[in-house]
A and B are shown apart, each in its own frame.
Chain A
Amino acid sequence: MCLAIPSKVIEIDPEGKTGKIDYLGTKVKANFALLEDVRLGDWVIVHAGFAISRLDEDDARETLDMLREIAEKSI
């Protein structure tokens, strides 16, 4: 099942391939081997324990701004 909610990287093991994420307030183990250069504080999409993509925060912010505009226009 594809969980839509991004998780924040909160721990990275020394070898950089595994660590922990914050998923809606819960600390969960995750594998980072499918992403290059994961850093603390990155937002990632995790599927079956593996981070498969990094969330582009600037892009997300642009989408949110657009949604805010839609919401304001329609009130």
Chain B
Amino acid sequence: MSSQDRFRDKTVIRALIRKIADKKKRLPSPSRIMEICGTHTMTIHRFGLQSLLEDAGVDMVSGPGCPVCITPGEVHEAAIRLVTERENFVLATFGDMTRVPTRLGSLQKTTPARKSAVKIIYSPEESLEFARRNRDTEVVFFGVGFETTIPSIALMAKSAAGEKLGNYSILSALWVIPPPLRAILTSGEVKISGFLYPGHVSAIIGEKPYEFIAREFGYPGVIAGFEPVDILLGIVSILDQLAEGRPIVANEYTRVVRPEGNPVALSLMKSMLEPKDAVWRGLGVIPDSGLKLRPEYGAYDAERKYAIQVKARGADLPGCRCGEILRGVLSPDKCPLFGKKCTPESPQGPCMVSFEGACLVHFKYRGIRR
């Protein structure tokens, strides 16, 4: 059995589910755990853990863990405007981003201006390489991501500045995970008993940024990996913390996540970026929840370079309830558009577009419940 198979081993999964059911029986209140990462959402549904856990008495609810989804509609629209209004211009971005529907259509369906194009990339490096090879074309990298992706985007700005690459800039939609968790807890809108913290965001930021959740709010939490067994071990830890009444930031993903995170990535982020108050779709303005390039790198900040003013309110298309889904107050299948007007072929909001979007994950792995 390969090590990956062991993390998906049915015997282990069954044993852990039994353990979870046992521990849950001894807890007085219902257990509802929010997973913050879209890839956790995917594992939970892809491997059928949602219903196994439901039977064991634990409900899982998805949080704002999809960067494509929480990026407000107005930011997507700004990208569409750039490539439709400017000639000899290339907007490079990740595939998911091109399919997000807005009031102006999507990047995929829009008609770019003369000699302009939308270029789909897998790694931020491809955007920089393209700009190097096409010096007479303006290249904007529409970079979206949480702390997992942010260091690589910051490195692009650093390289561009080092090379004085004048035709390259970044339209950034960079989001940091801990502030929205504070917002969710402060609003009290959704009842949860603990958090499953994102494994790879944590590989960058480490354990400390979550400590306020245990200390100030008294909620247990655990950093977990992405295999089914990782998630179940995380849930065991949360139930133990609840039983003992001792909330902490546990780390069940120590093979990848160091307590201090990734110091190289953190120092790069600090040197290139500074915090800003940002609007999250569904959550509104959250203090210090976004990052932008420091003023000394302003030449590589597309918002500055092209004098773009994004007045973000987090607009959803009519009927789309992605915002509520991102807050964890609505389950995708309760949205009237889900599986009817809104499908992966014809998405009405980003939650049905992104591989990490809760609606797409529900659609793929749970089907449509009528």
Seen from chain A, the residues whose Cβ lies within 8 Å of a Cβ on chain B are 1-2, 4-6, 29, 31, 33-36, 45, 47-50, 52-53, 55-57, 59-60, 63-64, 67-68, 70-71, 73-75
Which residues of chain B come closer than 8 Å to A64, judged between CB atoms?
A: 3, 6
Are B229 and A34 touching (Cβ within 8 A)? no
CB nearest neighbor in A for B145: A48
A60 to B254, CA, bound (A): 8
Are A71 and B254 touching (Cβ within 8 A)? no
| Stretch in contact with the other chain, from B148-156, B211-219, B292-300, B345-353 | B148-156
Tell me, rounded to whole Å, the shortest Cβ–Cβ distance linking A65 to chain B: 10
Are A67 and B262 touching (Cβ within 8 A)? no
A43 to B339, CA, bound (A): 40
Are B37 and A50 touching (Cβ within 8 A)? no
Which B residues from 115 to 144 make CB contacts under 8 A with A?
A: 122-126
Beyond A49-B124, A53-B262, A67-B9, 13 additional pairs, beta carbon < 8 A: A2-B148, A31-B123, A31-B152, A33-B155, A48-B123, A48-B145, A48-B152, A49-B122, A49-B125, A50-B155, A52-B148, A53-B200, A71-B12
A45 to B149, CA, bound (A): 12
Which residues of chain A come closer than 8 Å to B152, judged between CB atoms?
A: 31, 34, 47-50
Are B122 and A45 touching (Cβ within 8 A)? no
Are A71 and B9 touching (Cβ within 8 A)? yes
Q: A48-B152, A53-B203, A56-B256 in contact; A2/B3 too (CB < 8 A)?
A: no
Which residues of chain B come closer than 8 Å to A48, judged between CB atoms?
A: 94, 122-124, 145, 149, 152
Are B151 and A34 touching (Cβ within 8 A)? yes
Contact with A52, one of B12, B198, B265 (Cβ below 8 angstroms): B265
A29 to B360, CA, bound (A): 29
CB nearest neighbor in A for B148: A47
Which residues of chain A come closer than 8 Å to B9, judged between CB atoms?
A: 67, 71
Which residues of chain A come closer than 8 Å to B125, judged between CB atoms?
A: 31, 49
B185 in the interface (beta carbon within 8 A) = no
Which residues of chain A come closer than 8 Å to B126, judged between CB atoms?
A: 49
Tell me, rounded to whole Å, the shortest Cβ–Cβ distance linking B323 to chain A: 22
CB nearest neighbor in B for A34: B265
Are A52 and B151 touching (Cβ within 8 A)? yes
A2 to B226, CA, bound (A): 8
A49 to B149, CA, bound (A): 10
Are B203 and A45 touching (Cβ within 8 A)? yes
Are A74 and B11 touching (Cβ within 8 A)? yes
Tell me, rounded to whole Å, the shortest Cβ–Cβ distance linking B255 to chain A: 4
Q: Mark B6-40, 1 if CB is under 8 A from A, else 0.
A: 11010110111010000000000000000001110
A57 to B268, CA, bound (A): 26
Which residues of chain B come closer than 8 Å to A71, judged between CB atoms?
A: 6, 9, 11-12, 15
B238 in the interface (beta carbon within 8 A) = no
Q: Mark B32-71, 1 if CB is under 8 A from A, else 0.
A: 0000011100110000000000000000000000000000
Which residues of chain A come closer than 8 Å to B155, judged between CB atoms?
A: 31, 33-34, 50
B204 in the interface (beta carbon within 8 A) = yes
* 30 intermolecular pairs with C-beta atoms under 8 Å apart: A1-B42, A2-B39, A2-B199, A2-B226, A4-B39, A4-B227, A4-B230, A6-B256, A31-B123, A34-B264, A34-B265, A45-B203, A45-B256, A48-B149, A49-B152, A50-B123, A50-B124, A52-B203, A52-B204, A53-B203, A55-B255, A56-B254, A56-B255, A67-B9, A67-B12, A68-B6, A70-B15, A71-B6, A71-B9, A71-B15
CB nearest neighbor in B for A18: B125
